[in-house]
Amino acid sequence: MDLDHLEACCWPASQIGDAMSALAQKAGLAIGNSQLANPRSLPSGTGATPWIDWAAKQIGCEAELMAATFRELETELPAAYPALLRISDSFFLAIVDGKGSALRVLMPNLRLRSVAICDVCRAIREPAERAIRTDLERLVTEAEMTASGQAKTINFLLEEQLGDKRFDQCWTLRVAPGATPARWFEQVGALKNVARLIGAHTVQYVLWLVSW
């Protein structure tokens, strides 16, 4: 998936309030039908954290900033949900959950779509890679390597130079401290399982009574 198609799955930064409200509702974290107003402007980078923290509290949950290195993104992102992931100053992904090599995201039309984690990671890394790729390409060209050798060398050098670069543009949503046990069950998806378990035992008990 190229960047244009990935951005089509994103929420504009100008609609971050709508994105958080919809995501929190989908994840069962919001209180009632809480609806956030969109900010007049949202600072770039981690400058958005104060507004995101404040907004999360308004709808009954809390936001936790996830930090990882570029090298760790493929392993960290599948477990970071529900979350608002900033792939650029202009766009956010609303991550509902993750499984295997894909993330399931909530789009502005409120439909769900799976996106490949590798495509998301590529979009995150691209600006930093672009800044040094030209110099690396010049270096391998002067070394008179084959085309395949050049590509492998460039990827290796990018990994070496940027692998430890810190990424801190992902905010996971959590049940607020002090919430009722029922809300904690909802977050981990346990409430429905408990209800099914109780129902199953009830049926077994009724069948046992009838058999007497």
pLDDT per position as a tens digit, 46-94: 889 999 999 999 999 999 999 999 999 999 999 999 999 999 999 999 9
3-state DSSP assignment of residue 134 = helix
**Mean local confidence (pLDDT), 101-116:** 96
Query: Residue 141 pLDDT more than 70?
Result: yes
- Say what the pLDDT of residue 211 is: 55
Please tell me the predicted confidence (pLDDT) of residue 204.
55
Helices (H), 80-189: 117-142, 147-162, 181-188
pLDDT at 35: 87
- Average pLDDT, stretch 32-45? 86
Q: What mean pLDDT is reported for the chain?
A: 83
Q: Angle at CA 140, nearest 5°, toward 136 and 142?
A: 115
d(C-alpha 43, C-alpha 212), whole Å? 70
- Integer Rg of the chain from CA: 22
Q: For residue 140, what pLDDT is reported?
A: 81
113-139 per-position pLDDT tens digit = 999 999 999 999 999 998 888 888 888
Residue 88, pLDDT score: 92
For the whole model, what pTM was predicted? 0.76
Round to whole Å and give the CA distance between 68 and 167.
Answer: 5
End-to-end C-alpha distance for the chain, whole angstroms:
62
Q: What is the 3-state secondary structure (H, E, C) of 160-181?
A: HHHCCCEEEEEEEEEECCCCCH
Relative orientation angle of helices 16-27 and 49-58, to the nearest 10 degrees: 50
**What is the mean pLDDT of the segment spanning 154-165?**
89
